[in-house]
Amino acid sequence: MLKKIDAAARLIGRYSSLFQCPVCGLAMEMNENRTLLCRNRHGFDTAKPGYISLLTRAVKSDYGKTMFEARNLVCRSGFFQPLIERIGQTILTNISGGGLEPITVLDAGCGEGSQLAQLAEVWKRETPTGFLGAGLDLSKEGVAIAAREYAGFIWCVGDLARSPFRDQSFDVILNVLSASNYGEFSRLLSKDGMLIKVIPGSEHLRQLRHVLYDRSPRQAYSNEKTRALFMRHFDMLDERQIRYDVTLQKELLEPLVRMTPLSWGARDEQLQQALQLAIREITADFTVLVGRAKVQ
C-alpha cells in the first residue's frame, strides 16, 4: 500500500496539467522527489500527510484545527447530506457525463474536505463517469485533515486570489459558505463550466443565532448583497432554497457551535448558555446559486 505522500504525489503528477506555477504562471510537473516544479525552478513539495502547499507567502487563516475537527464531526453525522444530494443532482442535470475523461471539480474553500468527498460519493452512485476532485483552502490545518480523512483527491493549501491552476481547468467549481473570487472562478472554469455557490438563508441555524445574538442586529441575516454580487459576474442558471430541520444528537451540539463563525463574535457566557441548552432540532437553510460566467 502506498504511503499517503506517495499516493498524493502520483495523483498530482498524473494531473499536473491542471496546475500553473503560482509565482510565474508556467506549467508544472511532478519530479521523482515529489516536488511540483516549473521550468523557472519554482518548486513546491508534497507534504507527508498527502497534500501540497502552493502558497507563495505566509498567510494567516481565521480557521483553526479545532473548528475543522468540529466541522468534520458535524459533516460525518449527515448534517449537510440533503444539500450535497441537491448539488449532486444539479451537476448531473447540467454537466454531460459518460465520456472517458473524469469530471473535474474544484472545491474552493474546501476546509476539511468532507463536502467534496460526500459529493464524489453522490456522483459515483449515479454515473460511471469518473470524478476528479481538487480542494483548495488557505488553512493548512483544514487541508491536513482532508488529506488524512479522504484519499483519492488533490488537496492543496493555496490562495484563491492567486490560485495555482491553469485557465479553464474545471467543469465545476463548488463554493460552499466560503469567500468568492469571481475573476478567478471565471478564469478557472471550462467553456461550459458551472459555478455552484451556497450561501446561508435567513433561517440558517436560527436556534443558535437566537441564543448568541438575542436583541442584536446579527440575529437577522440577509443574503441579498451576496446574491447581487453573484449575478453581477455570473448568469444565473438556477436558484433554489434548501431548508430542512435536523434532529440534533446531544454530542453534536458543541461541535456545531464550534464550527460556525456565529460563535466568533459571541461572549463566553453566551457560548456557555448555548452549550447548556437542550437544543433538539436545528434548522439548516441554504440558497444554492448556479451560474455560468458572463461572456466578456
pLDDT tens by residue, 62-79: 678 888 999 999 999 999
- Enumerate the β-bridge partners of residue 287: 199, 241
Contact 200, 286 (CB under 8 A): yes
The C-alpha cell at 194 is: 458551472
What's the pLDDT score for residue 172? 98
* Whether pTM exceeds 0.75: yes
Q: Residue 42 annotated as binding?
A: yes
Q: How confident is the model at residue 18 (pLDDT cuts 50, 70, 90)?
A: very high
Sheet hosting strand 35-38, strand order edge to edge:
28-30, 35-38, 43-45
Q: Residue 204 annotated as binding?
A: yes
Q: How confident is the model at residue 99 (pLDDT cuts 50, 70, 90)?
A: low
Helix axes 140-149, 4-14, angle to 10 degrees: 100
CATH architecture, range 49-293: 3-Layer(aba) Sandwich (3.40)
Q: Residue 156 annotated as binding?
A: no
Q: Residue 38 annotated as binding?
A: yes
- With 80 as the cut, is the pLDDT of residue 48 above it? yes
Q: How confident is the model at residue 250 (pLDDT cuts 50, 70, 90)?
A: confident
Q: Residue 24 annotated as binding?
A: yes
Q: What percent of the chain has pLDDT over 90?
A: 72
User: Mean pLDDT in the chain?
Assistant: 90
Q: Report the C-alpha gap between 173 and 233 in whole angstroms.
A: 14
Backbone angles phi, psi at 240, to 5 degrees: -150, 155
Q: Residue 21 annotated as binding?
A: yes
Q: Residue 79 annotated as binding?
A: no
Q: Report the C-alpha gap between 281 and 208 in whole angstroms.
A: 10
Q: Report the C-alpha gap between 197 and 108 in whole angstroms.
A: 10
Contact 227, 287 (CB under 8 A): yes
- With 90 as the cut, is the pLDDT of residue 95 above it? no
Nearest of 227, 219, 222, 225 to residue 198 by alpha carbon: 227
Q: Residue 75 annotated as binding?
A: no
Nearest of 156, 159, 142 to residue 59 by alpha carbon: 159
Helices then strands, each counted (H, E), the chain: 10, 11
- With 60 as the cut, is the pLDDT of residue 216 above it? no
